[in-house]
Amino acid sequence: MAIELKMPALSPTMEEGTLAKWLVKEGDAVRSGDILAEIETDKATMEFEAVDEGTIGAILVPEGSEGVKVGTVIATIAGESDDAADTPAKSAPAATAAQSKAEEPTVAAPPPAKPRASDPALPTGTNMKMSTVREALRDAMAEEMRRDDRVFVMGEEVAEYQGAYKVTQGLLDEFGPKRVIDTPITEYGFAGIGTGAAMGGLRPIVEFMTFNFAMQAIDHIINSAAKTNYMSGGQMRCPVVFRGPNGAASRVGAQHSQNYGPWYASVPGLIVIAPYDASDAKGLMKAAIRSEDPVVFLENELIYGRSFELPELDDHVLPIGKARIMRPGSDVTIVSYSIGVGLALEAAETLAGEGIDAEVIDLRTLRPLDKEAVLRSLAKTNRLVIAEEGWPTCSIASEIVAICMEDGFDHLDAPVLRVCDEDVPLPYAANLEKSAIINAARIAETVRKVCYR
């Protein structure tokens, strides 16, 4: 039985090539691995090897032929008699792929969004206590570590030093060095180890001293953690939490002052959370640790020490992917997240004194983004401003503007405007830094603009 040798595709993009030279002639015996011909592609001259054993029958395309289409039969091999029986010649197998391309089906649509879960109602009589964001995060980790012995914390100075920003204070004493692990300064390495441990069935919390240093590790966050579930057809889970302070701190210069929210929020396969107050920090951190998906949890150094009301509950867990109305209002919407929320609330207070009633929305989760909450508020107020402590270009603010244009256009009474940091590396000098970063006055000023005041 003759086996057809077809013009091979020798690169992902090759459609035709030149049959430069035959290295065998009719009647030659060949075995697998022998080089039969040289074929020139647009990039290189490639060797074409025999896969089957047998004797070269007819050479159908002479050497020197140009523009030979991939899939053209260029020669035949007569198989050895005992091999021939179990080497079924494939009749035009290449057609399968080509056919399915030809019958281009309709484009798949994303599944409809299901209604997002609301924050659980606080039982009547729940006591509220004051807590810093720092304590809330620590308590969230400690509670989850008590609940699930697969949960552990690793990072630089998380154990004996008690945390560079004291977020892990006391964890070593309670859980010991097996579960609270000091790493060397080696972000790429320990982000990979944390990710691998999650693949192996554990629940790592990987602390970055700041997210600026996670740039060294971003390959594992994106290529290893975010994509693996998809690439494995849903076999491989990667339930890891990457957490640490994000955004501008104070007078630490450009390399230590950057908001990575938009970077991570652009990646399918990641959950990105950026809470503002203590209650959200705790409730969302607990949810992040329990999630089966990889989570980037962006904290903010400047709000670690701020105190907020925190419900005293045995198990305070909040839904991921749900925005929160921080201040209801009817005239204009201010969308923000993380440290920007405090500034937006401050601006809203100022504006209230001028007779502008602003609604402030805290996105809390940047991916998946709660579009519905934004659009609902826009439908009510018809005016919207985004306040973001971060660069304006390709930002969360840009994304919200796009959402308003695509899905909220009919509700708009004014252009959507954004208030972000200046589009510069963050300077060190106190006056320059101050003028580069978003503040409440600029938010209020922008709100007045969309209200035509």
Partner 1 sequence: MPQGIPTLAKPPSARKPAAAAADDSAFTLRSLQDAYLAKSRFEASDEDLLRFYEQMVLIRRFEEKAGQLYGLGLIGGFCHLYIGQEAVAVGLQSALDTEKDSVITGYRDHGHMLAYGIDPKVIMAELTGRGAGISKGKGGSMHMFSVDHKFYGGHGIVGAQVPLGAGLAFAHKYREDGGLCMAYFGDGASNQGQVYEAFNMAALWNLPIVFVVENNGYAMGTAVKRGSAETHFYRRGTAFRIPGMDVNGMDVLEVRAAAEVALAHVRAGKGPVLMELKTYRYRGHSMSDPAKYRTREEVQEMRDKHDPIDAAKAELLKRGVSENTIKEIDKQIRSKVNEAADFAESSPEPDLSELYTDILVESY
Task: Report the catalytic residues.
Answer: 187, 256
Range in contact with partner 1 (rule: CB under 8 A) among 30-38, 339-347, 403-411, 427-435: 30-38
**CA gap 206, 368 in Å, rounded:** 21
| Interacting residue with partner 1 among 83, 309, 312, 354 (CB under 8 A) | 83
Question: Site residues for partner 1, window 334-373 (CB under 8 A)?
Answer: 365, 368
Nearer to partner 1 by Cβ, of 293 and 445: the residue is: 293
Instruction: Provide the 10 A C-beta neighbour count for residue 43.
Output: 11
x/- map, 315-334, partner 1, by CB under 8 A: ----xxxx------------
Least separation in angstroms between residue 47's CB and partner 1 is 7
| Interacting residue with partner 1 among 57, 65, 116, 411 (CB under 8 A) | 116
Least separation in angstroms between residue 191's CB and partner 1 is 8
Please name every residue paired with 130 in a beta bridge, in sequence order, or none if there are none: 309
| Interacting residue with partner 1 among 54, 163, 192, 390 (CB under 8 A) | 192
**What Cα–Cα distance (Å) separates residue 25 from each residue in 40, 128, 260, 271?**
19, 88, 62, 60
Q: Is 398 exposed, middle or buried (0-12, 13-18, 19+ CB in 10 A)?
A: middle
x/- map, 383-422, partner 1, by CB under 8 A: ----------------------------------------
Nearer to partner 1 by Cβ, of 1 and 429: the residue is: 1
Range in contact with partner 1 (rule: CB under 8 A) among 126-134, 244-252, 289-297, 411-419: 289-297
**CA gap 423, 399 in Å, rounded:** 17
Nearer to partner 1 by Cβ, of 365 and 382: the residue is: 365
Q: Is 310 exposed, middle or buried (0-12, 13-18, 19+ CB in 10 A)?
A: buried
Least separation in angstroms between residue 341's CB and partner 1 is 20
Cβ-based neighbours of 141, under 8 Å, separated by 6 or more: 151, 153, 168, 171, 205, 285, 289
Q: Which phi and psi angles does 441 have, rounded to 5°? A: -65, -40
Nearer to partner 1 by Cβ, of 138 and 203: the residue is: 203
Residue 284 corresponds to which tokens in the numbers above? 């969302």
Range in contact with partner 1 (rule: CB under 8 A) among 48-56, 255-263, 344-352, 379-387: 48-56
Contact of 154 with 194, CB cutoff 8 Å: yes
Residues in the chain: 453
Range in contact with partner 1 (rule: CB under 8 A) among 191-199, 324-332, 394-402, 424-432: 191-199
Q: Is 406 exposed, middle or buried (0-12, 13-18, 19+ CB in 10 A)?
A: exposed
Question: Site residues for partner 1, window 215-254 (CB under 8 A)?
Answer: 219-220, 223-224, 228-237
Specify whether the backbone of 166 is left (phi greater than 0), alpha (psi in -120 to 50) or beta: left
Least separation in angstroms between residue 92's CB and partner 1 is 9
Cβ-based neighbours of 138, under 8 Å, separated by 6 or more: 167, 168, 169, 170, 171
Nearer to partner 1 by Cβ, of 298 and 444: the residue is: 298
Nearer to partner 1 by Cβ, of 288 and 358: the residue is: 288
Contact of 29 with 55, CB cutoff 8 Å: yes
Nearer to partner 1 by Cβ, of 285 and 343: the residue is: 285
x/- map, 61-80, partner 1, by CB under 8 A: ---------xx---------
**CA gap 150, 241 in Å, rounded:** 13
Residue 39 corresponds to which tokens in the numbers above? 């074929």
Range in contact with partner 1 (rule: CB under 8 A) among 1-9, 57-65, 299-307, 435-443: 1-9
Interior CA angle at 432 toward 430 and 433, to 5°? Answer: 65
12 touches partner 1 by CB under 8 A: yes
**HSE, side-chain direction, 13 A CA sphere, residue 402:** 8
Least separation in angstroms between residue 342's CB and partner 1 is 25
Least separation in angstroms between residue 433's CB and partner 1 is 32
Interior CA angle at 161 toward 158 and 164, to 5°? Answer: 65
Nearer to partner 1 by Cβ, of 366 and 437: the residue is: 366
86 touches partner 1 by CB under 8 A: yes
271 touches partner 1 by CB under 8 A: yes
Nearer to partner 1 by Cβ, of 88 and 355: the residue is: 88
90 touches partner 1 by CB under 8 A: yes
x/- map, 166-185, partner 1, by CB under 8 A: ------------x----xx-
